[in-house]
Chains A and B, each alone.
Chain A
């Protein structure tokens, strides 16, 4: 624990990537392999389990500190992190640190012996006794890390790539190799760690390739030269994924490098027909009755780890392939895109996959029966000139796609985000001026500042809530707005404040849909703040009618008996969390 806590705070102290890398290298070199496996798992964003619900921990900490619950809420509003809040209020009882203290335990023993033991302890009083025992042996800085381990909420400000770079340096291999290993690595034991760091290990059989990512572009015609050099695809509103067919098995990986085959059995079944040694890059989508649904609908399927037959029938999913990374067991990533695409087209033709076109709601489907195939080919768009590409993009919203992708025909399939090879040209967002109605104190570096806002527009004589948004403003603006929020507060509850409406912001968003879950009757997708309209007063803000006018004609949204609410933020934000679109 001590070494890992020290690592956590050393990483926290610096904002420089080079320094973070050096800190990681130091740690990885010195760490016992069993601890190293767990550390890599945690640092690279691996799944964490929760041994104790935060609410319980909060109650026990309040009692141990002799502080009323409401005061914990006030503290939390300032700190913006519950694990940290609890660590700070707990009494200092770091007395005799014995040999069995959690401080002296290795990370692996700590996670296994205390976190796992707690998880298996069915009895709440038993859990409490274990936790109180450990509290007494930890300093506040250690408690923060321990609380995060207990509650499965440990986040460290390092990217997976940075972790891979540090590990690569320790192992003496290149970063791309380490990234591939990380994707497939099992990180449970000392052997796993040693395996990861081995200077020369044959790669695992079901690993995907690191996803190649696109950069955003504004004006392709001005910068990209002859359109003939580029392949143009639709930018689908689904989830990026790779289908890996090797060794008689199928693995389905998302861009977040999560294995999701169990969630999409219909796709895994279809992919079992692929020749062995095939890897496809493409998009997961709900495709029903010949039309695709947006990400929001797909996320309902993502939330079901083991869907029932009925759920699959309700929201059937498909994989739209747009690239081929491996065929006949040979890595094809260094081949030009044009060659890879020809291979993909041949494969599709041989297997009889239909090419899938995104269609506007008012565009009738072709007379042939709606496709039931679960492997589909994403079409190339004809692009004789940039005007044609621009026209296609102009139709994107109507067709339920996010824009177009522009990929260099003679380019290899790289790693990470290499500017100049793949571009995404997204549709312009929709916009409306909305009034700030309430705010909640933020988290992390926004702790103590009111930075998460609720916005409304006019409906007759009253303002109705339409969206929560917190992205898009500068730190200076946030501080200024925080001041105004404090000065205009009319109601306060913990970290939440209702205000007299005075602030108007231009919101950007990706779409509007009818909603029964929102009081306003509409849901806006991925709202964020485009700019602060200082010159406008609330009376100048938009209306619900303005917003309703932006609703797209219905795209056949199947009803769901119990839609699970998104954990936090809009579907768009969720999508970014899951896969950081590329």
Chain B
């Protein structure tokens, strides 16, 4: 039987339904898992995404192309192919795409996490024959502490910085991680400020009905903003640009799954790293794969080779699916925030968009 989905020049394509999922080139019809730049690109004819993510999509795409939506679980058809969108728990509006054709069910999970996140609908396993999974953290060293534990750590760090008159700066992706952090911390500790890129999405989140604490933009040309008491949430690129000068003395920390590894944290020069990711950790990946009941698993961006081999060891038909998704990156300011170079798969925490040669 022919595959329901295949990788083409423009991206993951469904020939029977004539649509693409997260295409990396402009196509007439794109089904989008979530609004990060390596999954949602502008220039397509028509978009389909999950209803909760519409405003976020609109703010990211910056185009006038029509965006259709489906409620979670609601079905639609393209040329007799049934498509529905199911929560992926990655960021607001993130979805797994379920595609059914002639009795065969494929699920493309996009990016997902199994940990709890107050800003988006939790991941729901969907039974399928073929499961397409990411593998950003597909090594057993990656096991996330409970988000509550991390929230406590961040609050303690914020308080300790305040005691020294230092502003606390959290580096995080502008879409998803930034809002999640804002919702996690204890806003009674002090004022929270967001970088412009963060604020744009804070508005989209609020307009979509997500409750977030009060977050202020940084007034232009201000000095000693927050008087050393504030928490600032910003993408890493802005932190490098000198934008932080408005805050006086700062303590910088990154919130990322990569902070698990001491060497990676030290290389980035952070005194403090918080282990918090919007991707599934290793046990999360394994349980997600198992919950689908799929016999065949296609592994994309991340430790794809390793994770596929691990799954084969557990009796699954697991192979690598070469895509151009970037996932969360350790040594790169951009990650999903910025357009990865063409051809980049970035299946490593360090390379930041490094293309790996196909195995000979």
The answer to whether A and B come from one shared complex is yes
CB atoms of B139 and A74 under 8 A apart = yes
- The range of chain A's interface size is 35 or more
Cβ of A155 within 8 Å of any chain B Cβ, yes or no, is no
B352 at the interface (CB under 8 A from A): yes
Docked-complex contact A78 and B141, CB < 8 angstroms: yes
Contact of A79 among B261, B310, B351, B360 (CB under 8 A): B261
Contact indicator B352/A78 (Cβ below 8 Å): no
- Provide the residues of chain B in CB contact with A446, threshold 8 Å: 263, 267
Give a binary string over B322-349; 1 marks a CB under 8 Å from any A CB, 0 the rest: 0000000011000000000000000011
Choice from A68, A79, A489 contacting B141 with Cβ under 8 Å: A79
* Among candidates A144, A443, A486, residue contacting B351 with C-beta atoms closer than 8 Å: A486
Chain B residue contacts of A15, Cβ below 8 A: 269, 271
Docked Cα-Cα span, A13 to B306, in Å, equals 30
Question: Is A104 positioned at the interface, with any CB of B under 8 Å from its CB?
Answer: no
Residues in A neighbouring B266, C-beta threshold 8 A:
12, 444-445
Q: Which residue of A lies closest to B330 (CB)?
A: A448
Collect the chain B residues with CB atoms within 8 Å of residue A68's CB.
310, 313
Give the shortest distance, in Å, between A153 (CB) and chain B (any CB): 14
Q: Is the CB of A489 within 8 A of B267?
A: no
Is A81 an interface position by the 8 A CB rule?
Answer: yes
Q: How far is the CA of A501 from the CA of B143 in the complex (A)?
A: 37
Distance in Å from the Cβ of B199 to the closest Cβ of chain A?
30
Q: A15-B269, A486-B348, A489-B356 are in contact. Are A448 and B263 (CB under 8 A)?
A: yes
Contacts of A89 in B (CB 8 A): 140-141
Q: How far is the CA of A366 from the CA of B345 in the complex (A)?
A: 69
* A479:B139 contact, CB within 8 angstroms: no
Does B260 lie at the interface of the complex (its beta carbon under 8 Å from any beta carbon of A)?
Answer: yes
Q: Is B350 an interface residue (CB 8 A)?
A: yes
Chain B residue numbers with a CB within 8 Å of A427 are none
Q: Is A447 in contact with B261, judged by CB distance below 8 angstroms?
A: yes
CB distance A445 to B263 under 8 Å? yes
Q: Which of A81, A88, A92, A444 contacts B260 (CB 8 A)?
A: A88
Residues of B near A81 (CB, < 8 A) are 262-263
Tell me if A483 is interfacial: C-beta within 8 Å of chain B.
Answer: yes
Cα A235 to Cα B126 in complex, Å, equals 72
A482 B263 Cβ-Cβ under 8 A = no
Are A75 and B140 within 8 A (Cβ)?
A: yes
A85 close to B141 (CB less than 8 A): yes
User: CA–CA, A133 to B257, complex, Å?
Assistant: 29
If over half of B's interface residues share one DSSP class (helix, strand or loop), that class is named, otherwise mixed; here it is loop
List B contacts of A79 (CB < 8 A).
Answer: 141, 261-263
| A71 and B306 contact, CB distance less than 8 A | yes
Cβ–Cβ contact A74 & B330, under 8 A: no
A447–B266 Cα distance when bound, in Å, is 9
Set A67, A445, A486: member contacting B357, Cβ < 8 A: A486
Q: Which of B232-288 contact A (CB under 8 A)?
A: 260-264, 266-267, 269, 271-272
Closest to B140 in A: A89
B36-62 residues with Cβ-Cβ distance < 8 A to A are none
Within the assembled complex, what's the spacing in Å between the Cα atoms of A447 and B262? 8
- The docked-state distance in angstroms from the alpha carbon of A88 to that of B144 is 11
Chain B residue at smallest Cβ distance from A141: B262
Q: Are A13 and B271 in contact (CB under 8 A)?
A: yes
The answer on a CB contact under 8 Å between B267 and A445 is yes
B261 touches A479 (CB 8 A): no
Please measure, in the bound complex, the distance between the C-alpha atom of A448 and the C-alpha atom of B332, giving whole angstroms: 14
- Check if B348 sits within 8 Å of A448, measured CB to CB: yes
Residues from chain B with a CB closer than 8 A to the CB of A483 are 351-355
Residues of B within 8 A of A546 (CB): none
B303 within 8 Å of A (CB atoms): yes
Tell me how many residues of B have a C-beta within 8 Å of chain A: 33
CB-CB nearest in chain B for A451: B350
Which residues of chain A in 1-17 are interfacial with respect to chain B, using CB atoms and an 8 Å cutoff?
A: 12-15
List, in ascending order, chain B residues with CB within 8 A of A444's CB: 263, 266
Return the CB mask of A72-84 against B: 1 if under 8 Å, else 0. Answer: 0011001111001
Find chain B residues with CB under 8 A from A202 CB.
none
Residue of A nearest to B267 (CB): A445
A-side contacts of B264, CB under 8 Å: 447-448
Q: Report the nearest B residue to A16, measured CB to CB.
A: B271
Is B352 within 8 A of A479, CB to CB?
A: yes
With A482-B354, A483-B354 in contact, is A65–B271 under 8 Å at CB? no
**Nearest chain A residue, comparing its CB with the CB of B261:** A79
Chain A contacts of B350 at CB under 8 A? 448-449, 479, 482
For B138-157 the 0/1 string (1 means CB < 8 A from A) is 01111100000000000000
User: Of residues 70 to 120 in A, which have CB atoms within 8 Å of B's CB atoms?
Assistant: 70-71, 74-75, 78-81, 84-85, 88-89, 92
Query: B310 contacts which chain A residues (CB < 8 A)?
Result: 68, 71
CB-CB nearest in chain B for A447: B263
Whether the Cβ atoms of A479 and B263 lie closer than 8 Å is no
Interface string of B112-144 (1 = CB under 8 A from A): 000000000000000000000000000111110
Residues in B with CB closer than 8 Å to A448 are 261, 263-264, 330, 348-350
Partner of B354, one of A13, A80, A486: A486
- The reply to whether A67 and B261 contact each other, CB–CB distance below 8 Å, is no
Contact between chains at B141 and A488 (CB < 8 Å) = no
Contact call A75/B143, Cβ cutoff below 8 A: no
User: Separation in Å of the A480 CB from the closest CB of chain B?
Assistant: 9
Does A490 reach chain B (CB closer than 8 Å)? yes
The answer to the question of A475 belonging to the interface, with a C-beta cut-off of 8 Å to chain B, is yes
Q: Determine which of B140, B263, B355 lies in contact with A80 in the assembled complex, contact meaning CB atoms within 8 Å.
A: B263
Query: A475 to B266, alpha carbons, bound, how many Å?
Result: 12
Cβ–Cβ < 8 Å partners of B306 in chain A? 71, 74
Docked Cα-Cα span, A158 to B264, in Å, equals 19
Closest to B258 in A: A448
User: Does A12 lie within 8 Å of B140, measured CB to CB?
Assistant: no
Q: Roughly how many angstroms separate A448 CA and B263 CA in the complex, as a whole number?
A: 8
A13 touches B140 (CB 8 A): no
- Flag A430-456 by CB within 8 Å of B: 1 or 0 each: 000000000000011111110000000
CB neighbours (8 Å) of B263 from chain A are 79-81, 443-448
Q: How far is the CA of A447 from the CA of B271 in the complex (A)?
A: 17
Residues in A neighbouring B331, C-beta threshold 8 A: 479
Complex: how many Å from CA A397 to CA B344?
Answer: 48
Q: Does A487 contact B (CB under 8 A)?
A: yes
Complex interface: chain A residues within 8 A of B262 (CB): 12, 79, 81, 84, 144, 447
Residues of chain A lying within 8 A (CB to CB) of residue B140:
65, 67, 71, 75, 88-89
Who on chain A is nearest to B271 by CB? A13
Contact B267 A75 (CB under 8 A): no
Q: Which residue of B lies closest to A9 (CB)?
A: B262
- A453 CA / B261 CA spacing, docked (Å): 22
Write the nearest CB–CB distance from A22 to chain B, whole angstroms: 12
Q: How many angstroms between the C-alpha atoms of A89 and B139 in the bound complex?
A: 9
Q: Is the CB of B348 within 8 A of A487?
A: no
Known: A65-B140, A445-B263. A489 touches B357 (CB 8 A): yes
- A 399-427 to B, binary, CB cutoff 8 A, 1 in contact else 0: 00000000000000000000000000000
Residues of A near B353 (CB, < 8 A) are 483
Whether A78 lies near B357 (C-beta < 8 A) is: no
Nearest B residue to A65, CB-CB: B140
Rounded to whole angstroms, the CA-CA distance of A530 and B306 in the bound complex is 35
Contact A78 B261 (CB under 8 A): yes
In the complex, residue of chain A having the shortest beta-carbon distance to the beta carbon of B282: A89
Closest-by-CB residue of B relative to A87 is B141
Minimal Cβ-Cβ distance residue in A for B269: A15
Q: How many angstroms between the C-alpha atoms of A89 and B267 in the bound complex?
A: 22
Cα distance A485–B140 when bound, in Å? 24
The listed residue with most B CB atoms (<10 A of its CB), out of A70, A445, A483, A487, is A483
Task: Please provide the 5 A-B residue pairs with the shortest distance between their CB atoms, ordered closest to farther.
Answer: A447-B263, A483-B354, A88-B141, A445-B266, A445-B267
- Given A74-B303, A448-B348, A490-B360, 4 extra CB contacts under 8 A: A13-B272, A68-B310, A486-B351, A487-B355
Q: List 27 A-B contacts (CB under 8 A).
A: A12-B262, A12-B266, A15-B269, A67-B140, A68-B310, A70-B309, A71-B140, A71-B306, A74-B306, A78-B349, A81-B262, A84-B261, A88-B140, A444-B263, A446-B267, A447-B263, A447-B267, A448-B263, A448-B350, A479-B352, A486-B351, A486-B356, A486-B357, A487-B355, A487-B356, A487-B357, A490-B357
